[in-house]
Structure 1
Amino acid sequence: MSTKTEQTITFFNLAIVLALCLGSLTYGYTFSIVSTTLGQPAWFEYFDLTQDATAPRYDYTNQIIGAMNACFSGGGFFGAIFVGWACDYLGRKKTLLVATPIAIVAGALQGGAVNIAMFLVGRLLGGFAVGILVVLVPLFQSEIAPPATRGFLVSQHGVVLVLGYSLAAWVGVACYFSKNAAFQWRFPLCLQCLWPLAMLVLTPFLPESPRWLLMNNRESEAWDTVSKLHSSGKDREHTSHFAMEEFYQMKRQVNADKAAAVGESVWTLFTKPSYRKRMICAFLTMFGAESTGILVVYNYSVLLYQGLGFKGSLPLILAAAYVSVACCGNYINSLLIDRVGRVKLLLIGFTGCMVSLCFEAAMSAEYIGTTKNQGLSAGVFFLFLYITFYGCCIDANTFVYCSEIFPNHIRSRGLAFSLAVLFLSTIAYLEAAPTAFAQVGWKYYLLFIILTSINIPLVWYFFPETKGLSLEEIGEKFGDEVAVHLTDLTEEQRRELDKVIESEKEGAGTYHAETGEVKAAEA
Structure 2
Amino acid sequence: MAHYSFYNLRTILILTLGSLTYGYANSVLTYTLGLPGFLEYFNLNNDAAYANAIMGTINGIFSAGGVAGSFTAAFMCDRYGRKATMNTAAVVSILGGVLLAGSVNAAMLIVARLVSGWGVSMLVVLIPIFQAEVSPPTSRGLLVGQHGVWIVAANAITGWIGFGVYYSSNMSFQWRFLFALQCVCPLALLCCSHWVPESPRWLLMQGRHAESWEIISKLHTNSHEFSDRDDKTSYAEKEFHQMVKQVELDAKLWAEGGGAWQILTKPSYRKRMWMGFFTQFAAQATGAMVVYNYMVNLYKELGFSGGITIMLSATYVTVATLANFVASVIMDRVGRVRLLTIGLTGCMISLSLECVMEARFVGATDHTGNALGVFFIFCFICFYAGGIDATSYVYCSEIFATHIRAQGMAFSMAGTFLSTIVFLEVGPTALATIGWKYYLVFIGLTAVDVAIMLWYFPETKGLSLEGINAKFGDEVAVHFHDEEYPASRAEARSSGQGLEGEKDGTAPEHIEHMSRKPSHE
Output the TM-score relative to the length of structure 2. Answer: 0.94
Report the AA paired with residue 320 of structure 1. Answer: A
2:5 counterpart residue number: 10
2:188 counterpart residue number: 198
1:384 to 2:378 alignment: yes
Describe the superposition over 1:164-220 as per-residue Cα deviations: whole angstroms up to 9, x where unpaired: 110111100000011111111111110110000001111132111111001110111
Task: Report the Cα offset of residue 271 of structure 1.
Answer: 2.5
Residues 90 and 236 of structure 1: is their aligned pair in 2 closer, same or farther, counting only changes over 3 Å? farther
1:211 counterpart residue number: 201
Unaligned runs of 5+ in 1: 512-517
Distance in structure 2 (CA, Å) of the matches to 1:188 and 1:338: 36
1:421 counterpart residue number: 415
Aligned mate of 1:348, from 326, 342, 351: 342
1:139 to 2:129 alignment: yes
Residues 229 and 103 of structure 1: is their aligned pair in 2 closer, same or farther, counting only changes over 3 Å? same
After superposition, residues 290-309 of structure 1 pair within 5 angstroms as 290-309=284-303
2:268 counterpart residue number: 274
C-alpha RMSD of matched pairs (Å): 1.9
After superposition, residues 227-376 of structure 1 pair within 5 angstroms as 227-231=217-221, 237=229, 241-262=234-255, 263-376=257-370
Distance in structure 2 (CA, Å) of the matches to 1:499 and 1:423: 51
Task: Report the Cα offset of residue 509 of structure 1.
Answer: 2.5
Report the AA paired with residue 19 of structure 2. Answer: S
Relative to structure 2, which stretch is displaced further, 261-270 or 335-344?
261-270
Task: Report the Cα offset of residue 231 of structure 1.
Answer: 4.1
Residues 332 and 504 of structure 1: is their aligned pair in 2 closer, same or farther, counting only changes over 3 Å? closer
1:38 to 2:36 alignment: no
Task: Report the Cα offset of residue 270 of structure 1.
Answer: 3.0
1:47 counterpart residue number: 42
Task: Report the Cα offset of residue 497 of structure 1.
Answer: 4.5
Task: Report the Cα offset of residue 260 of structure 1.
Answer: 1.5
2:67 counterpart residue number: 77
Task: Report the Cα offset of residue 119 of structure 1.
Answer: 1.3
Distance in structure 2 (CA, Å) of the matches to 1:495 and 1:323: 46
User: Does structure 2 conserve the Cα–Cα contact (< 8 Å) formed by 1:508 and 1:521?
Assistant: no
Describe the superposition over 1:319-371 as per-residue Cα deviations: whole angstroms up to 9, x where unpaired: 00000011000001001110000011111111100000000011101110111
Aligned mate of 1:459, from 437, 453, 464: 453
1:432 to 2:426 alignment: yes
User: Does structure 2 conserve the Cα–Cα contact (< 8 Å) formed by 1:227 and 1:240?
Assistant: no
Distance in structure 2 (CA, Å) of the matches to 1:78 and 1:476: 31
Distance in structure 2 (CA, Å) of the matches to 1:172 and 1:431: 23
Residues 271 and 500 of structure 1: is their aligned pair in 2 closer, same or farther, counting only changes over 3 Å? farther
2:151 counterpart residue number: 161
Residues 365 and 266 of structure 1: is their aligned pair in 2 closer, same or farther, counting only changes over 3 Å? farther
Distance in structure 2 (CA, Å) of the matches to 1:522 and 1:359: 61
Distance in structure 1 (CA, Å) of the matches to 2:505 and 2:263: 33
1:26 counterpart residue number: 21
Report the AA paired with residue 290 of structure 2. Answer: V
User: Does structure 1 conserve the Cα–Cα contact (< 8 Å) formed by 2:208 and 2:520?
Assistant: no
Report the AA paired with residue 124 of structure 1. Answer: L
Residues 446 and 239 of structure 1: is their aligned pair in 2 closer, same or farther, counting only changes over 3 Å? farther
SS where residue 311 of structure 1 aligns?
coil
SS where residue 426 of structure 2 aligns?
helix
1:489 to 2:485 alignment: yes
Task: Report the Cα offset of residue 240 of structure 1.
Answer: 6.8
Relative to structure 2, which stretch is displaced further, 212-221 or 488-497?
488-497
Task: Report the Cα offset of residue 501 of structure 1.
Answer: 10
1:514 counterpart residue number: none
Residues 240 and 39 of structure 1: is their aligned pair in 2 closer, same or farther, counting only changes over 3 Å? farther
Task: Report the Cα offset of residue 498 of structure 1.
Answer: 4.5
User: Does structure 2 conserve the Cα–Cα contact (< 8 Å) formed by 1:248 and 1:508?
Assistant: no
1:519 counterpart residue number: 517
1:515 counterpart residue number: none
Residues 90 and 387 of structure 1: is their aligned pair in 2 closer, same or farther, counting only changes over 3 Å? same
Task: Report the Cα offset of residue 26 of structure 1.
Answer: 0.1
Task: Report the Cα offset of residue 505 of structure 1.
Answer: 4.6
Residues 449 and 495 of structure 1: is their aligned pair in 2 closer, same or farther, counting only changes over 3 Å? closer
SS where residue 292 of structure 1 aligns?
coil
Distance in structure 1 (CA, Å) of the matches to 2:312 and 2:505: 57
Task: Report the Cα offset of residue 162 of structure 1.
Answer: 0.4
Residues 298 and 520 of structure 1: is their aligned pair in 2 closer, same or farther, counting only changes over 3 Å? same
Residues 212 and 510 of structure 1: is their aligned pair in 2 closer, same or farther, counting only changes over 3 Å? closer
Report the AA paired with residue 396 of structure 1. Answer: A
Describe the superposition over 1:40-74 as per-residue Cα deviations: whole angstroms up to 9, x where unpaired: 01111111221xxxx4x211111110011011100
Unaligned runs of 5+ in 2: 487-491
Identity %: 48
Output the TM-score relative to the length of structure 1. Answer: 0.94
SS where residue 494 of structure 1 aligns?
coil
2:489 counterpart residue number: none
Distance in structure 2 (CA, Å) of the matches to 1:472 and 1:107: 38
User: Does structure 2 conserve the Cα–Cα contact (< 8 Å) formed by 1:232 and 1:239?
Assistant: no
Distance in structure 2 (CA, Å) of the matches to 1:15 and 1:374: 47
Distance in structure 2 (CA, Å) of the matches to 1:502 and 1:521: 21
Report the AA paired with residue 243 of structure 1. Answer: A
Task: Report the Cα offset of residue 520 of structure 1.
Answer: 2.5
Describe the superposition over 1:217-254 as per-residue Cα deviations: whole angstroms up to 9, x where unpaired: 01110111111112469999499711111110000000
User: Does structure 2 conserve the Cα–Cα contact (< 8 Å) formed by 1:231 and 1:239?
Assistant: no
1:130 to 2:120 alignment: yes
SS where residue 461 of structure 2 aligns?
coil
SS where residue 213 of structure 2 aligns?
helix
Report the AA paired with residue 175 of structure 2. Answer: W
Question: How many positions carry a matched residue from both structures?
Answer: 507
Report the AA paired with residue 78 of structure 2. Answer: D
SS where residue 149 of structure 1 aligns?
helix
2:79 counterpart residue number: 89
Distance in structure 2 (CA, Å) of the matches to 1:133 and 1:500: 47
